[in-house]
Amino acid sequence: MSDIDAMIAQLESIRQQAQQDFAAAADSEVLTALKVKYLGKKGELTGVLKGVGGLSVEDRPRIGQVVNTIKAELEQVIEARAAELGAQADAARIHAERIDVSLPGRVMPRGALHPVQQGLDEMTAIFDRMGFMIAEGPEIETEFHNFDALNIPPEHPARAMHDTFFLRDTENGEPMLLRTHTSPVQIRAMQRFVGDGHEPPLAVVAPGRVYRCDSDVTHSPMFHQVEVFKVDRDVSMAHLKGVLQYFLSAYFEQEVPIRLRPHYFPFTEPSAEVDIGCVFCAGKGCRICKGSGWIEVLGSGMIHPNVLKSVNIDTSIYSGFAFGLGVERLVMLKHGIPDLRLFFENDVRFLRRMGA
Ligand code: DAH
């Protein structure tokens, strides 16, 4: 066999091998590597050309032609294979990313406000509509705001009855505590109001958390109160009763009878406990109202002059009414919730059922 025939045979075998390899390339990276291997500057085809020095002058162009033809052919094969691999990759990706638009959507569970928060919001909104200003105070309070300014001096038995959580911290040497009621917001709101140079009227609703060192079936160490008060000229028990009547009927969404019973609170004089006609038996007497037809719902009274004096409000001109209610209790009565502990156990079935 002449040199040229041997080279042509060699080129032919490279061509065939390359064709096979290209067809078998599993992805575009392998294909690129093969392209370098066969057609690159130091590739196999070029390698054959190194031998052309030994050929006759007439044979050299022939070999060049054969190499070019094979090169052109192989380039086409590579291009075709590359297109094929690209299409396969696209198809695989489309398959992997496919979404079944006929599947039902994922339902996002909808959250709801806790029933106590709902109650707070409803109650606050009723007073807001009546023109009361919404105020809040700190849950960590001073003894002064929680007791002294509310006419509860240190030796007063009411202090002991409040089951106070005292804190180790002090403010300017004054003992700090977790507020046992929202009544200190009366003091803070009036102090701010007077400090800003205002004169009554002042009407405030103050919702919030309170704390008592007390825990049993009907008591939780943390619970909620709403405090309401109004200071103006000539405020009387009649205003108190009118506001209570309006509020309680609005909250229970029905005309509820109310009655005021004389009582004692240090920060009011006179003081009254307020009952509503039993919402379960319409006053006939049942287990809930212990047969009396009435249910106690809150404490109230005319703000004690000592309280107004503690914030420099002139008691010869101004008087005020105040009341404070337990939120959990009213929410339980409105919704027939039998057990206080349901509010704090966080059983989602209960919360879902109460969710608005
Ligand atoms: N602060 C009282 C308590 O937590 C409730 C209360 C009673 C508030 C009478 C008042 C009021 O404003 O006038 O037991």
Digit-coded pLDDT (tens) for 252-285:
999 999 999 999 999 999 999 999 999 989 999 9
Task: Kindly give the distance from the C-alpha atom of residue 290 to the centroid of ligand 1, in angstroms, as a whole number.
Answer: 24
Given pLDDT bands bounded at 50, 70 and 90, which one contains residue 243? very high
More confident call, 51 vs 76:
76
Task: Kindly give the distance from the C-alpha atom of residue 207 to the centroid of ligand 1, in angstroms, as a whole number.
Answer: 13
Share of the chain above pLDDT 90, in %: 65
For residue 356, the model assigns a pLDDT of 65
Task: Kindly give the distance from the C-alpha atom of residue 225 to the centroid of ligand 1, in angstroms, as a whole number.
Answer: 9
Pocket test for ligand 1, best of 164, 210, 260, 267 (most atoms within 8 A of CB): 267
Instruction: Find the range with the poorest average confidence among 39-53, 181-195, 270-284.
Output: 39-53
Indicate if ligand 1 lies below 6 Å from the C-beta of 265.
yes
Indicate if ligand 1 lies below 6 Å from the C-beta of 329.
no
Looking at ligand 1, which residue's alpha carbon is closest to its atom 4?
Answer: 181
Indicate if ligand 1 lies below 6 Å from the C-beta of 164.
no
Work out the angle at residue 199's Cα, subtended by the Cα atoms of residues 196 and 203, and round it to the nearest 5 degrees.
95
Indicate if ligand 1 lies below 6 Å from the C-beta of 224.
no
pTM tops 0.75: no
